[in-house]
Chain A
Amino acid sequence: MPLMGLDRFVNISGSKSILLPLLLGRMVLLQPDPFLNELTSMFEKSTEKGSVWVTLKRSSLKSKVQRNKMKTTGQSIEYRCLVRATDGKKTISTSVGMKDHQRFQSSYATILKAHMTTLKKRERKDKKKAAEAEKKAASSKKKL
């Protein structure tokens, strides 16, 4: 995919060779599956401190100049969904088109479900359970 003038900032690569561009602080453009793997590792690394940001944006991945040229010649511009993820240190990205977006979104949803575990559950149902758990913890502490 030609990236006019943006080659300095983006490295297109497979999953193995992302170390060097990451060290150089560049955005790494991956295929959807390696991206999901990297995203999983980002979530796993930032459990004790740090955040994970994920951004979705519609993009054709072409520069303004290219887009204007395509408009004047009457070519249709193919848009994709650009997904970026960062943990504050490194940034990874992927683009998802019409054909593979449903498969991607279900894998993505699975990853989020698996890692967003510290959000609070509904209090109403768990109040009794929490009270019981506290009693048990208190009694076990006394025994020790």
Chain B
Amino acid sequence: MMSFRDRFYQWDKTSVQTGSPSFLPLLHRRPNRTAGRRSSAIDQSSHPYLQSNLDRGDNISMVYITSWEEFVERSVQLFRADPESTRYCMKYRHCDGKLVLKVTDDRQCLKFKTDQAQDAKKMEKLNNIFFTLMARGPDADISEAAGKEQSEAQPTKKGRGRKQ
């Protein structure tokens, strides 16, 4: 465990990119710890310091995202921006029935937690997306992975030929 001072000065060095003042990370520290424990009920845009990770690229705050579509879009964006260091983690606790997904490039972190079975199905698609991106490359076409079910559903509807 690094001391408070070491963390502060380390953060200071990494904040050169956006030119953010070095005292901001200190103020960010408390919200970071609680954001992980509480649910994602905190409105990111209104709070002056709990800004979106994309606005402050050097921020290392944990963000729980409520919308699945937003989580997918931002995590794919994050991966494409830095395919070398971005990883996609999943944690499943059978005893609690909880599933947590995390996508991080060790600078930004996007998380999604759920206890719903429907989200597990959505996660499968995201798994396919990431497998394709990681095995084939960040420029790979993921429309197959994401839109597979859609393309399968449409032909069957047309084939019935009933009144709509």
Are A and B genuine complex partners? yes
Interface range, B side:
35 or more
Distance (whole angstroms) from the CB of A95 to the closest CB of chain B: 9
Query: What B residues does A57 contact at CB under 8 A?
Result: 86-88, 134
- A57-B88, A81-B131, A105-B131 known; A98+B124 contact, CB < 8 A: no
Q: CB-nearest residue of chain B relative to A121?
A: B117
- A52-B92, A58-B84, A119-B119 known; A79+B137 contact, CB < 8 A: yes
Question: Are the CB atoms of B91 and A58 closer together than 8 Å?
Answer: no
Query: What A residues does B91 contact at CB under 8 A?
Result: 51-53
Question: Are the CB atoms of A56 and B87 closer together than 8 Å?
Answer: yes
B99 adjacent to chain A (CB < 8 Å): yes
Question: Are the CB atoms of B92 and A51 closer together than 8 Å?
Answer: yes
> Which of B89, B90, B115, B135 gathers the greatest number of chain A CB atoms within 10 Å?
B135
Q: Which of A19-27, A40-48, A135-143 contacts B (4 or more CB under 8 A)?
A: A40-48
Task: Report how far A49 CA is from B96 CA in the complex, Å.
Answer: 8
Question: Are the CB atoms of B90 and A55 closer together than 8 Å?
Answer: yes
Task: Report how far A84 CA is from B113 CA in the complex, Å.
Answer: 20
B97 adjacent to chain A (CB < 8 Å): yes
Which residues of B in the span 57-116 have a Cβ within 8 Å of any Cβ on A?
83-84, 86-97, 99, 114-116
Distance (whole angstroms) from the CB of B101 to the closest CB of chain A: 10
Task: Report how far A53 CA is from B119 CA in the complex, Å.
Answer: 17
A118 adjacent to chain B (CB < 8 Å): yes
* A interface: dominant SS: mixed
Task: Report how far A80 CA is from B135 CA in the complex, Å.
Answer: 5
Query: What A residues does B132 contact at CB under 8 A?
Result: 101
Question: Are the CB atoms of A56 and B94 closer together than 8 Å?
Answer: no
B20 adjacent to chain A (CB < 8 Å): no
Q: CB-nearest residue of chain B relative to A104?
A: B131
Interface range, A side:
35 or more
Question: Are the CB atoms of A109 and B92 closer together than 8 Å?
Answer: no
- A101-B135, A105-B128 known; A54+B90 contact, CB < 8 A: yes
A97 adjacent to chain B (CB < 8 Å): yes
Task: Report how far A96 CA is from B136 CA in the complex, Å.
Answer: 10
B26 adjacent to chain A (CB < 8 Å): no
- A53-B89, A112-B124 known; A120+B117 contact, CB < 8 A: yes
Question: Are the CB atoms of B131 and A56 closer together than 8 Å?
Answer: yes
A50 adjacent to chain B (CB < 8 Å): yes
- A46-B94, A48-B95, A120-B97 known; A55+B115 contact, CB < 8 A: no
Query: What A residues does B154 contact at CB under 8 A?
Result: none
Distance (whole angstroms) from the CB of B129 to the closest CB of chain A: 10
| Contacts beyond the supplied A46-B95, A81-B134: 14 A-B pairs with Cβ under 8 Å | A51-B91, A54-B89, A56-B134, A58-B84, A80-B135, A81-B131, A101-B131, A109-B127, A112-B120, A115-B94, A116-B99, A116-B120, A117-B94, A122-B118
Q: Contact residues of A with B, CB < 8 Å?
A: 43, 46-58, 79-82, 96-98, 101-102, 104-105, 108-109, 112-113, 115-122
